[in-house]
Structure 1
Amino acid sequence: MTTQTVLPVEPQTLQNISASNGEPAWLTESRLNGIRLAAELELPKLEKTRLDRWDLSNFGTMRQDRPGLTQQLPEGVASYVDLKEDSNLVVQHNSSAVFARLSADLAAKGVIFTDLETAVREHGELVKTYLHTIVKPEENRLTALHAALWNGGVFLYVPKNVEVDVPLQSIFLIDDASASFAPHILIVAEANSRVTYVDNYISGQYEGNVVHNGAAEVFVKEGAKVQFASVHHLNEQTTDLINRRSVVENDGSIEWIVGEMNAGDVVSETLSILKGNGSVSDAKVIAVGSGSQKLNYTTKAVHFGKSSESQMITRAVMREQATAIINGITKIEKGATKANGEQTEKVLMLSPKARGDANPILLIDEDDVKAGHAASVGQVNQEQIYYLMSRGISREQAERLIIYGFLAPVVSDIPLEQLQQQLQGLVERKLGQ
């Protein structure tokens, strides 16, 4: 059945904007295909979450001009970076990338790190090979709209056998509710390469509500290792919809470290497709919900390769009237012998009105495998509180220590010290401490 929906832009207007921005014909057609699909497809069906009841009406207005890259950081961004001459940074402000810098040393090794729109112009065939091949437009209305409307974004390419020793960072800032804000992250790590990528989503204050409809696609080739860390702290007027996905080939590994610190409603998926033999995925997610937030987090690993391994840890703290649906899905396909998939979901509720629902799911189509899950939902352990208080610690301090200890397995793994400190501060702010 065809779903009737109001599109944020008409196909002819979209074609004109793409042409005026100098995009190649293949990208224009890709955008048009996305907007056509968006008119036909349904919203995604989520576990215990009715997206059709959410306000998803404002995807912003696409811009028709590109301001160009500058050496001036937008106001509000400087505190998130330690900008040096050899720093590696991409910054997007609303709809446009405004800053990109890659050290001469990495550029000489063949590393590409720039905004995705620039990469389309300068490395078009490389981008075309990978773009929208994991997060596919035909999946649902939101992925179709993303394919049509994406802007700014990041392209990171690491050649074969190149090891990048310093984290590469990007910042996405929205402070205008009228702007389309849909970054796309595209990472390709060739065989036996190493790289750490860190991003940070932030927002200013503005009138009206806006939808962030983003995506990340990560390609991990044979023997490559990618560490992907992401912290989202968008305001309560921003609905955050994000798909993070990777395909991992033989003996490759992906490590996800995700901090969900938003103030608005969120749908987040972090997926690893373990395609190759000996491929590995390690995903750690923390979330803090407050106010009347509605949150839906899914962490998933799909095993195709023999002796592939996945580990998933999700920890969430809910306060006030926040509600969270937390899904952990391990899927082991037929033929993925010796695969091992483990997952843990834990929810700590700080208020009688807060709600957390942990859903561990194992889908096993092969006999010779290992798989396990653990899930818990509950209040702060009063015995732990009393024990700490008996050592002269106040109740408030005791609760704080327990919460920080609960979240520590993820916070301590953030690969950029400055971002780790910021995440710690965000946790304190969200918890009202």
Structure 2
Amino acid sequence: MTTQTILPVDSVALRALSESKNEPAWLAEQRQAALELAGSLELPKLEKTKIERWNISAYGQYKAATAISLEEAPETIHSLIREEEDGTLLIQRNSGVVYSNLSKDLADQGVIFMDLETAVREHEDLVKKHLHTAVKSDEHQLAALHSAIWNGGVFLYVPRNVVLDKPVQAILLSDDGTAAFAPHILIIADTNSEVTYVDNYVSGQLGAEVSHIGVAEVFVKAGAKVRFATVHQFGDQVTDVSFRRAVVENDGSIEWIVGEMNTGNTASDTLSVLKGNGSTSDQKTIAVGAGSQKLNYTTQAKHFGKSSSSQMITRAVMREEATAIINGITKIEKGATKADGQQTERVLMLSPKARGDANPILLIDEDDVTAGHAASVGQVNQEQIFYLMSRGISRTDAERLIIYGFLAPVISDIPLKELQDQLQSLVERKLGQ
């Protein structure tokens, strides 16, 4: 039995919107097909989470964006703009990109960095070949809806043998509760290239509830290295559901750094498809839940290539009445000999009413492999608190030290100092310190 769905836009309005944006025919038809799918597909199945009870239908309406200068950027995001005056930066505000800049140095090397809506027209062959091929429209209802209504977005292409020594940055802001906000991230790292991409998802004074259904697709060609860092810090009026996928070819490498710092209900699914021989994936996730938040985080690695390796580390802190479901899934396919998959999930609960559930899963279809997992869920150790208090440290400071010690193995391993500092500050804010 399918789920009854009230679609946020009808076929006629969606086609008119495509025409107003001058989208190519193939994209307009792709949107139409996805909208039709959305009316028949089920919602995604989340472990021990009834997502149908969440507010995932507050999509709003498309509102055309107006370009701004960097000086006109909203106060909400000023502290996140880290690049120099000529730096590479993109800002999406609600339904569209309002600022985009690519440094001359990167442009001269053939790097492409722009909003996805423009890239569809100016780099059609690259976009058409990859768009919606890692996260397919027919996966479930939310994937289909996103494929139909995505707006703004980020397109990043790094040519063969080009190595970027500075991060490429995007800021994605929702501050109008009536405006549709559905950015799509598409990254292609060509053979033997290297890039670090950093984005921040932020909300302002919305005045209404907002549903963010986001998708990121990353294609790592042979020998390429991609570091993808993302921090979500939406307010409690935003329900955030994100799907991230990387497809990694021979000797390619993907590193995910995910900071889940929202204050509303959140679900995310981050998957590395290790398609090539010698491909690698490293996923680091930290999360802090508070209030009555419902959280569901899934990290996955699927091994197809020989001698492929994956590492997944998730650490979550739950306070007050927050609940978290942490899923780690390592799948080693038949033929992926010499593959190695390791994962660790740990949840620390700061309140008797907080709940955490860690679910490590190994699915192995090949004999000549190594794989392992570790998981733990527990309360703050009172003996450690009493010990610290006996040394003259207050209970509040003692708990804070224990929490920071719990998260430190992940935060300290993040290779971007500015991102370390940002996550540390967000952890302090969420813990009320």
Q: Which TM-score band (shorter chain)?
A: over 0.9
Q: Which AA in structure 1 matches 2:66?
A: P
Q: Which AA in structure 2 matches 1:349?
A: M
| Structure 1, unpaired ranges of 5+ | none
Which residue is 2:129 aligned to? 129
CA shift for structure 1 position 194: 0.5
Write out per-residue CA displacement over residues 151-170 of structure 1, whole angstroms, 9 at most, x where no aligned residue: 11111100011000000110
Matches within 5 A, 1:71-90: 71=70, 72-90=72-90
Is the CA contact (8 Å cut-off) linking 1:265 and 1:293 kept in structure 2?
A: yes
Q: Distance in 2 between matches of 1:415 and 1:174?
A: 28
Q: Distance in 2 between matches of 1:30 and 1:70?
A: 33
Q: Which AA in structure 1 matches 2:193?
A: S
Which residue is 1:311 aligned to? 311
Which residue is 1:246 aligned to? 246
Q: Distance in 2 between matches of 1:42 and 1:2?
A: 5
Which residue is 2:265 aligned to? 265
Which residue is 1:328 aligned to? 328
CA shift for structure 1 position 422: 2.4
> Secondary structure at 1:251's aligned position in 2?
coil
Write out per-residue CA displacement over residues 99-139 of structure 1, whole angstroms, 9 at most, x where no aligned residue: 11111011100011111111112111111110000111001
> Secondary structure at 1:77's aligned position in 2?
helix
Q: Which AA in structure 1 matches 2:60?
A: G
Q: Distance in 2 between matches of 1:392 and 1:263?
A: 33
Which residue is 1:67 aligned to? 66
Q: Distance in 2 between matches of 1:83 and 1:265?
A: 31
Q: Distance in 2 between matches of 1:242 and 1:182?
A: 10
CA shift for structure 1 position 74: 3.0
- How many percent identity over aligned positions? 69
Q: Which AA in structure 1 matches 2:293?
A: Q
Q: Distance in 2 between matches of 1:214 and 1:383?
A: 42
Q: Distance in 1 between matches of 2:279 and 2:68?
A: 38
Matches within 5 A, 1:276-295: 276-295=276-295
Q: Distance in 2 between matches of 1:182 and 1:412?
A: 32
> Secondary structure at 1:362's aligned position in 2?
strand
Which residue is 1:103 aligned to? 103
Write out per-residue CA displacement over residues 56-91 of structure 1, whole angstroms, 9 at most, x where no aligned residue: 22111123x453464442332221113423311010
1:112 equivalent to 2:107? Answer: no
Is the CA contact (8 Å cut-off) linking 2:177 and 2:207 kept in structure 1?
A: yes
Q: Which AA in structure 2 matches 1:264?
A: G
CA shift for structure 1 position 383: 2.8
Matches within 5 A, 1:15-164: 15-63=15-63, 65-68=64-67, 70-71=69-70, 72-164=72-164
Q: Distance in 2 between matches of 1:242 and 1:83?
A: 26
CA shift for structure 1 position 414: 4.2
> Secondary structure at 2:39's aligned position in 1?
helix
Which residue is 2:222 aligned to? 222
Is the CA contact (8 Å cut-off) linking 1:80 and 1:419 kept in structure 2?
A: no
Is the CA contact (8 Å cut-off) linking 2:65 and 2:95 kept in structure 1?
A: no
Is the CA contact (8 Å cut-off) linking 2:282 and 2:311 kept in structure 1?
A: yes
> Secondary structure at 1:420's aligned position in 2?
helix
> Secondary structure at 1:126's aligned position in 2?
helix
Q: Which AA in structure 2 matches 1:285?
A: T
Q: How many residue pairs were aligned? A: 432
Q: Distance in 1 between matches of 2:84 and 2:336?
A: 46
Is the CA contact (8 Å cut-off) linking 1:229 and 1:414 kept in structure 2?
A: no
Write out per-residue CA displacement over residues 375-404 of structure 1, whole angstroms, 9 at most, x where no aligned residue: 000011223223333433222212111111
Q: Which AA in structure 1 matches 2:196?
A: T
Write out per-residue CA displacement over residues 39-63 of structure 1, whole angstroms, 9 at most, x where no aligned residue: 1101011110111222222111123
Which residue is 2:351 aligned to? 351
Is the CA contact (8 Å cut-off) linking 2:54 and 2:239 kept in structure 1?
A: no
Q: Which AA in structure 1 matches 2:257?
A: I
Q: Distance in 2 between matches of 1:397 and 1:74?
A: 35
Is the CA contact (8 Å cut-off) linking 2:349 and 2:356 kept in structure 1?
A: yes
Q: Distance in 1 between matches of 2:34 and 2:55?
A: 21
Q: Which AA in structure 2 matches 1:176?
A: D
Is the CA contact (8 Å cut-off) linking 1:267 and 1:297 kept in structure 2?
A: yes
Is the CA contact (8 Å cut-off) linking 2:3 and 2:43 kept in structure 1?
A: no
CA shift for structure 1 position 96: 0.8
Matches within 5 A, 1:352-431: 352-431=352-431
> Secondary structure at 2:74's aligned position in 1?
coil
> What is the RMSD computed on CA atoms of the aligned residues?
1.3
